[in-house]
Structure 1
Amino acid sequence: MAVVKFIELSAQSPQSYEDAIRQAVETASATLRNIQSVWVKEFEAVVENDRISQFRVNVKLSFLIEGSGAGAG
């Protein structure tokens, strides 16, 4: 039986929402293994001087708990 854990993260980028999502996954992958999916829960933008200065996302990541995959235990 596989067991998947979910965590929520927030990330931002001055370039785009897509880049903010990418940064969330890349940063999480530095300490997590077996990331399975990313779900974007919220989009937000910071406006300064009538222009968007930051793109923010709140995401939910899922990752497989080690030892819980097919054939484990």
Structure 2
Amino acid sequence: MSTTTVARVTTITARSPEGFDAAIREGIARSHATLRNVSGAWVKEQKVECTDGAITSFQVVLEVTFVLDE
């Protein structure tokens, strides 16, 4: 058994009309449902989309880390 951990980082984008926090939570939840061993993430970018001067959606780009199976 190796004590070395190997992880991979993948980039995902998540969007929500509710706010950045909701977009981040949705991105993490979706990553966890799709990938095994998600161990963390960091927010790489934040962006808002606007229509007629009002924010219509909040978008985040996440770098999600997951540990590879042995």
TM-score (norm 1): 0.88
Alignment-derived partner of residue 26 in structure 2:
23
1:22-69 C-alpha deviation (Å, 9 max, x unpaired): 1111111111111111100000000011110000000100010011xx
What amino acid is aligned across from residue 9 of structure 1 in structure 2? I
1:54 to 57, 61, 68: 57
Gaps of 5+ in 2: none
TM-score (norm 2): 0.91
How far, CA to CA, are the matches of 2:37 and 2:19 in structure 1? 26
Gaps of 5+ in 1: 68-73
How far, CA to CA, are the matches of 1:20 and 1:54 in structure 2? 9
More helix by share: 2
- Using the aligned pairs only, state the percent identity: 30
Alignment-derived partner of residue 63 in structure 1:
66
